[in-house]
């Protein structure tokens, strides 16, 4: 049986919220031993919940992904029951230490000595205050790879600006390039494409650096400014400005050349995306929708003439889709070569025959939430299959392994560190 | 120049359009030698997509192509010709990785499926980037970026309640798929180099959205936990206030100031006496819509009286999560990004000197760099054939017969 690609690589993980944690997930998926360094003295906002001990009432009004702990109950350890964290918490380890105390920092340094990588995505000044820098890590482990993922970079006027992904996307232009055609950005939904981009390209960066280290023996510092990192995703808009000085704005659900929209279907809040580009596709669509007469209408004979009657075509399409099932539309249109697919809510996705056949969801357990289906790796490998090897990690779940096995901490010392609040699996009542 | 991270990696690139080329661009920009196979005469479809200077189509000046194919070599080859299989297999012996983005089954029908590549080179990595993956009932379906987001990602909950779901900026999800493919490909390269194991990596564009940290995995899990469907609401519902996009004197600002951050918002506003009452600071008040309305009556005019950069700065001083909504022009002209040299200046023989998106991340020892602009169609064909040992007369025959 082959080993996983990153078996034997140890990564220290001080990531928060989403971009950094997703990077760590992707490295853990590939077999790296990713150790989250957490503190039971301070709750990092958003990462494992907005507070350590939320009341039932305080999570009631929250959206499911932040308030939807099992049974809508905070439970004994709410921080281990938070969907926003648990969704990416697979395959990782967790240890606790309070880095704000000198003996905590000594423990950290011992970990650095035996690790290959360190990843974090905090505001630049957070690491500065802790005294953690590439120079410091290198002193303890010369060949270490450090990945820093600040919002805007470790230099420049926005160096310490605090942001979630959604704010960075505003700054680099994505927010004005999405959203409804007929409504301003005020109704914009918070999306986190920058977190997805940062997480994935952060993992690629660490892999590239590990590859380089395997060849040369040298470690290095990687700086991934999350805002900059996503700019290539807007390439065509960037190039249009560079070439023509043109600023694009949102197209809503429309395409630049084909007929495209998201149309309402039969049932409660059901929708389908349809794209009709060529004359053949237009004819095929009209045949399926029993609108043969319309297919021949002169207004609609070419892609250009259809595009100039987009609104009219949208209403024809909607009239047909309104009485059809969103999955059925996909099946019958794909059969005749027209791109169509349902907008899947969460229930649809979890029972989708294609995703189930390909094993996208895997069962995993964790003591504080029980057993559920979790989303697995976003790709498949034939010889080193990537699986969920363990469920979402609990705070401090691997303290024994990290302290006793890796750091050779004596039982007495371990007990002292427990008593002093470094080691534990619970946030004290004093932690907000 | 410093050694690049992937300088010892060679890639045969059989991809086109966006997702596959973005994967191989990441490899190329960090040092890999990428040989891109294009169809003779027409080339990669993105050469026809634009944007073009002055909107005049020219396959050597497509902005999308120029962006996605930096540092690659272009080799024209008719994969359906009799000679193609031999040329590809001879090339495969010289590379570590093959990346392709044909419809599933195409590689096999061309005689260059995974088994054939593996016979030529046992530890080869083959990464296939496709709409829905190499197996499963949707395998042969067509896909658009809207569909990828609608079927795979969180489109369902993106938008407002009484309107249709709305997608992201054009092609953003296709780039994400390419980036995921680069991670999977690097993972496979490790297994190949360290354990001499070749393998087939199957990247489904749809699944790169299902497994995305952009809300989808969390919302799928929340459904598992409580059977709750996440629907479309306005940004401010369920996060406390002020959350969302607000109009200001010269544009828009995005603020997440709800919940624990509310006190910081009040500080940002210089602590108006109207917000002194302790009721404001009880956690449950954040979900009280009457209080939300009263707050908005102070907050909206406060924003309108200030420019977006004034608000951004005040917010940062108070520790409030914010960002301005910029156009691409404002991004390119922003002093922060200029000081950091975030964008690249690329000279292309046909398109001239153009600003292009720059490095996604900075590596201190093995830097990102543009060694060469996107290639002209077939620019490196002869060079590559010669390196494979083809003689001048054979090269001439291949040209004459339209193979290359």
Q: What are the structure tokens assigned to B211, written together?
A: 């497994």
If asked whether residues B197 and B266 sit together in one domain, one would say: no
**Domain-embedded: residue B254:** yes
- B335 interfaces chain A, CB cutoff of 8 Å: yes
pLDDT, position B1: 59
- Contact in structure between B203 and B181 (CB atoms under 8 Å): yes
Do A367 and A338 fall into the same domain? no
Query: In this structure, is residue B335 part of a structural domain?
Result: no
Indicate whether A342 and A363 sit together in one domain: no
pLDDT (tens digit per residue) in B103-154:
999 999 999 999 999 999 999 999 999 999 999 999 999 999 999 999 999 9
For chain B, give me the number of helices (H) and strands (E)?
16, 12
> What range does the domain containing B259 cover?
243-325
| In a domain? residue A324 | yes
Tell me the pLDDT band of B235, cut-offs 50, 70 and 90.
low
**B47 and B20 within one domain:** yes
pLDDT digit string, tens, across residues A300-324: 999 999 999 999 999 999 999 999 9
Query: Of A350, A371, A388, which residue is a domain's last?
Result: A350
Find the closest chain A residue to B248 by CA distance. A186
Q: A218 touching B, CB under 8 A?
A: yes
B398 at the A interface (CB within 8 A)?
no
Q: What is the mean pLDDT of residues B322-348?
A: 97
CATH number at residue A346: 3.30.1540.10
Answer whether residue B109 is part of any domain: yes
Residue A353 is predicted with a pLDDT of: 98
CB atoms inside a 10 Å sphere around CB B350: 13
- Give yes or no: residues A272 and A379 share one domain: no
CA distances from B11 to A253, A290, B177, B218 (A): 35, 48, 18, 35
Give the residue among B14, B87, B21, B26 at the shortest CA–CA distance from B49: B21
| A423 and A398 Cβ atoms separated by less than 8 Å | no
Domain carrying residue A130: 10-232+359-419
Report the pLDDT value the prediction gives residue B207, as an integer from 0 to 100. 98
Pull the structure tokens for residue B22: 């973005």
Residue B234 has pLDDT above 70, yes or no: no
Same domain, B283 and B345: no
Name residues whose C-beta falls within 8 Å of residue A373's C-beta, 6 or more positions apart in sequence: A350, A361, A362, A363, A364, B224
| Residues A389 and A293 occupy one common structural domain | no
Question: Which of A218, A369, A379 lies nearest to residue B184, judging by beta carbons?
Answer: A379
Whether A174 contacts A198, CB under 8 Å: no
- Give the closest of B9, B254, B260 to A166, CB-based: B254
- Tell me, what's the pLDDT at B206? 98
> Which of B325, B358, B373 delimits the end of a domain?
B325
User: Inter-chain contact A167–B322, Cβ cutoff 8 Å?
Assistant: yes
Q: Is residue B358 part of a domain?
A: yes
pTM: 0.97
Percent of chain B past pLDDT 70, that is, above it, reads 99
Is residue B272 assigned to a domain?
A: yes
Residue contact A354–B136, C-beta within 8 A: yes
Judgement on whether residues A276 and A327 belong to the same structural domain of the protein: yes
State how far the alpha carbon of A296 is from the alpha carbons of A279, A286, B219, in Å.
Answer: 10, 9, 44
CA of B351 to nearest chain A CA: how many angstroms apart?
Answer: 9
With an 8 Å Cβ cutoff, is A209 touching chain B? yes
- pLDDT digits over B5-47, tens only? 999 999 999 999 999 999 999 999 999 999 999 999 999 999 9
Task: Return the number of CB contacts < 8 Å for A and B.
Answer: 559
* B180:A236 CB<8 A: no
pLDDT per position as a tens digit, B86-105: 999 999 999 999 999 999 99
Burial of B316 (0-12, 13-18, 19+ CB in 10 A): middle
Does A295 contact B at CB distance below 8 Å?
no
Residues B49 and B132 in one domain: yes
Cβ–Cβ below 8 Å for A222 and B363: yes
Chain B interface test: which of A26, A63, A183, A210 (most B C-beta within 10 Å): A63
Query: Are B213 and A195 within 8 A, CB to CB?
Result: yes
* B94 in any annotated domain: yes
The reply to whether A331 and A381 lie within a common domain is: no
CB contact under 8 A, B235 and A188: yes
> In this model, does residue A339 exceed pLDDT 80?
yes
Q: What is the rounded CA–CA span in Å between residue B256 and residue A380? A: 36
Q: Of the residues B278, B296, B325, which one is the last residue of a structural domain?
A: B325
Q: Is B376 exposed, middle or buried (0-12, 13-18, 19+ CB in 10 A)?
A: middle
Q: Residue B12 has what pLDDT?
A: 98
CA closest to A344 among chain B residues: B151
pLDDT value at position A409? 98
Give how far A402 is from chain B: nearest CA, Å: 25
Residues of A in Cβ contact (< 8 Å) with B208:
378-379
Strand segments (E) across A226-310: 259-264, 271-276
Both tokens assigned to A312: 């009219």
The answer on A182 and A141 residing in a single domain is yes
DSSP letters along B112-144, please?
-SHHHHHHH-TT-EEEEEESS-SSSTTTT----
A342 shares its domain with A365: no
Q: How far is CA B166 from the centre of its chain?
A: 19
pLDDT at B236 over 70: no
Interchain contact A212–B (C-beta under 8 A): yes
Query: Are residues B172 and B144 in contact, defined by beta-carbon separation less than 8 angstroms?
Result: no
User: Of the residues A332, A350, A368, which one is the last residue of a structural domain?
Assistant: A350
Query: Average pLDDT for residues A278-294, to the nearest whole number?
Result: 95
CB spacing of A354 vs B137 below 8 angstroms: yes
Residue the block writes with tokens 């109950």: A73
Residues B371, B308 share a domain: no
CATH code, B306: 3.30.1540.10
Domain finish residue from A323, A350, A377: A350
Q: What single-letter DSSP state applies at residue A4?
A: P
CB distance A355–B224 less than 8 Å? no
Chain A hits for B362, CB-CB cut-off 8 Å, are 222-224
| A364 contact residues in B (CB cutoff 8 A) | none
* Cβ–Cβ gap A186/B245 under 8 Å: yes
- At B289 the pLDDT is 86
Spatial separation of the C-alpha atoms in residues A275 and B350, rounded to whole Å? 33
Mutate to test the interface with B, among A8, A45, A125, A191 (most CBs of B within 10 A): A191
Write down the pLDDT at residue B287: 82
Q: Which of A49-58, A289-298, B17-26 has the highest mean pLDDT?
A: B17-26
Residues A21 and A123 in one domain: yes
pLDDT-derived band at B284 (thresholds 50, 70, 90) equals confident
Put simply, the chain A residues between 24 and 43 with a CB less than 8 A from any chain B CB are: 25-26, 30
B68 in a structural domain = yes
CATH number at residue B134: 3.40.50.10540
A75 touches B: beta carbon within 8 Å: no
Task: Pick B136's closest partner by Cβ from A179, A253, A357.
Answer: A357
Domain count, chain B: 2
Same domain, yes or no: A316 and A377: no
pLDDT over 80 (residue B237): no
Nearest to A154 by CA among A226, A202, A227, A223: A223
Task: Identify the H or E element spanning B303.
Answer: helix B289-304
Q: How many C-beta atoms surround the C-beta of residue A101 within 10 A?
A: 15
Looking at the fold, whether B313 and B347 belong to one and the same domain comes out as no
Q: Would you say residue A430 has pLDDT above 70?
A: yes
User: B113 CB near a chain A CB, below 8 Å?
Assistant: no
pLDDT tens for A126-181 read 999 999 999 999 999 999 999 999 999 999 999 989 888 999 999 999 999 999 99
Query: How many domains are there within chain A?
Result: 2
B278 and B148 housed in the same domain: no
B352: left (phi over 0), alpha (psi -120 to 50) or beta: left
Q: pLDDT by residue (tens digit) across A60-113?
A: 888 899 999 999 999 999 999 999 999 999 999 999 999 999 999 999 999 999
What is the reported pLDDT for B286? Answer: 84
Using a 10 angstrom Cβ sphere, with 0-12 exposed, 13-18 middle and 19 or more buried, the burial of residue B77 is buried
- Indicate whether B85 and B146 sit together in one domain: yes
Residues A88 and A140 both lie in one domain: yes
Please state, in angstroms and rounded to a whole number, the distance separating the CA atoms of residues A124 and A331.
Answer: 50
Q: Is the peptide bond before B242 cis (omega within 30 degrees of 0)?
A: yes
Predicted confidence at residue A8, as pLDDT, reads 98
What long-range pairs does A103-106 form, CB within 8 A, spacing at least 24? Answer: A103/A417, A103/A420, A103/A422, A104/A422, A105/A130, A105/A131
CB within 8 Å of chain A, chain B residues 18-37: 22, 25-26, 30
Query: Same domain for B250 and B180?
Result: no
In a domain, B226, yes or no: no
Nearest CA in chain B to A168: B323
Domain check: are B312 and B171 in the same one?
Answer: no
- B180 and B282 belong to one structural domain: no
- The C-alpha of B258 sits at a distance from chain A's nearest C-alpha, in angstroms, of 11
Is residue A404 domain-shared with residue A370, that is, in the same domain?
Answer: yes
Q: Do A61 and B287 touch (CB under 8 A)?
A: yes
Does A224 sit within 8 Å of B361, measured CB to CB?
yes
Answer yes or no: do B35 and B156 share one domain.
yes
């Amino acid at each position: 049986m082959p080993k996983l690609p990153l078996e034997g690589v140890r990564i220290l993980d001080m990531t928060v919220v989403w971009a950094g944690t997703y990077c760590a997930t992707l490295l853990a998926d590939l077999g790296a031993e990713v150790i989250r360094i957490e503190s039971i003295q301070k709750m990092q906002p958003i990462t494992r919940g907005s507070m350590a001990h939320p009341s039932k009432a305080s999570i009631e009004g929250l959206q499911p992904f932040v308030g939807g702990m099992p049974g809508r109950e905070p439970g004994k350890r709410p921080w281990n029951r938070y969907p926003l964290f648990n969704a990416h918490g697979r395959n990782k380890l967790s240890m606790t230490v309070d880095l704000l105390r000198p003996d905590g920092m000594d423990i950290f340094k011992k970990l650095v000595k035996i690790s290959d990588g360190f990843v974090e995505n905090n505001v630049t000044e957070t690491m500065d205050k802790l005294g953690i820098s590439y120079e410091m890590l290198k002193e303890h482990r010369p060949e270490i790879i450090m990945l820093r993922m600040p919002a805007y970079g470790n230099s420049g006027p926005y160096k310490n600006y605090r942001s979630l992904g959604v704010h960075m996307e505003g700054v680099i232009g994505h927010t004005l390039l999405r959203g409804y055609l007929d409504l301003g950005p005020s109704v914009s939904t918070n999306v986190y494409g920058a977190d997805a981009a940062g997480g994935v390209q952060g993992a690629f960066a660490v892999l590239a650096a590990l590859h380089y280290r395997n060849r040369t023996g040298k470690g290095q510092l990687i700086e991934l400014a999350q805002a900059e990192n996503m700019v290539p995703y807007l390439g065509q808009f960037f190039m249009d400005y560079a070439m023509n000085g043109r600023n694009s704005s949102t197209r809503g659900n429309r395409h630049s050349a084909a007929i495209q929209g998201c149309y309402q279907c039969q049932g409660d809040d059901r929708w389908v995306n349809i794209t009709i580009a060529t004359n053949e596709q237009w004819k095929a669509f009209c045949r399926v929708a029993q609108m043969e007469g319309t297919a021949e209408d002169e207004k609609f004979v070419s892609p250009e003439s259809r595009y100039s009657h987009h609104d009219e075509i949208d209403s024809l399409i909607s009239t047909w889709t309104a009485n059809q099932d969103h999955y059925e539309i996909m099946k019958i249109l794909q059969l005749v070569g027209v791109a169509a697919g349902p907008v899947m809510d969460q229930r649809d996705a979890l029972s989708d025959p294609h995703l189930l056949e390909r094993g996208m969801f895997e069962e995993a357990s964790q003591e504080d939430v029980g057993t559920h289906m979790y989303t697995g790796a976003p790709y498949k490998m034939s010889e080193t299959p990537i699986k969920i090897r363990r469920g979402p990690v609990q705070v401090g779940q691997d303290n024994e392994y990290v302290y006793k096995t890796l750091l050779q901490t004596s039982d007495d010392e371990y007990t002292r560190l427990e008593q002093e609040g470094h080691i534990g699996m619970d946030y004290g009542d004093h932690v907000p | 120049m410093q050694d690049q991270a992937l300088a010892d990696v060679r890639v045969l690139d059989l991809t086109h359009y966006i997702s596959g080329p973005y994967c191989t661009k990441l490899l190329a920009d960090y040092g890999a030698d990428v040989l891109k196979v294009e169809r003779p005469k027409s080339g990669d479809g993105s050469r026809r997509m634009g944007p073009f200077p002055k909107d005049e189509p020219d396959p050597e000046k497509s902005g999308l192509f120029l962006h996605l194919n930096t540092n690659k070599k272009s080799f024209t080859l008719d994969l359906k010709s009799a000679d193609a299989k031999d040329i590809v297999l001879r090339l495969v012996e010289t590379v570590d990785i093959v990346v392709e983005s044909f419809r599933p089954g195409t590689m096999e029908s061309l005689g260059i499926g995974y088994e054939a590549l593996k016979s030529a080179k046992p530890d080869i990595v083959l990464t296939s980037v496709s709409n829905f993956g190499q197996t499963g009932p949707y395998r042969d379906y067509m896909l658009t970026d809207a569909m990828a987001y609608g079927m795979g990602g969180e489109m369902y909950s993106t938008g407002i309640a009484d309107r249709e779901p709305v997608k992201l900026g054009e092609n953003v999800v296709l780039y994400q798929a390419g980036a995921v493919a680069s991670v999977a490909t690097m993972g496979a390269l490790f297994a190949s180099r360290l354990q001499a194991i070749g393998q087939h990596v199957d990247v489904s564009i749809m699944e790169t959205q299902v497994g995305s940290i952009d809300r989808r995995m969390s919302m799928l899990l929340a459904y598992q936990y409580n059977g709750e469907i996440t629907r479309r609401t306005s940004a401010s519902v369920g996060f406390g206030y002020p959350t969302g996009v607000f109009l200001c004197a010269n544009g828009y600002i995005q603020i997440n100031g709800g919940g624990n951050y509310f006190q910081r918002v009040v500080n940002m506003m210089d602590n108006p006496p109207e917000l002194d009452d302790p009721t404001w600071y009880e956690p449950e008040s954040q979900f009280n819509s009457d209080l939300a309305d009263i707050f908005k009556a102070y907050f909206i005019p406060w924003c309108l009286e200030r420019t977006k950069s004034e608000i951004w700065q005040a917010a940062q001083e108070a520790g409030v999560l914010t960002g301005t909504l910029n156009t691409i022009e404002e991004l390119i002209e922003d002093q922060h990004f200029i000081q950091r040299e975030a964008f690249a200046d690329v000279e292309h023989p046909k398109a001239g000197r153009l600003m292009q998106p720059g490095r996604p991340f900075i590596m201190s020892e093995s830097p990102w760099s543009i060694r060469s602009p996107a290639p002209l169609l077939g620019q490196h064909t002869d060079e590559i054939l010669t390196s494979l040992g083809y003689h001048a007369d054979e090269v001439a025959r291949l040209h004459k017969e339209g193979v290359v």
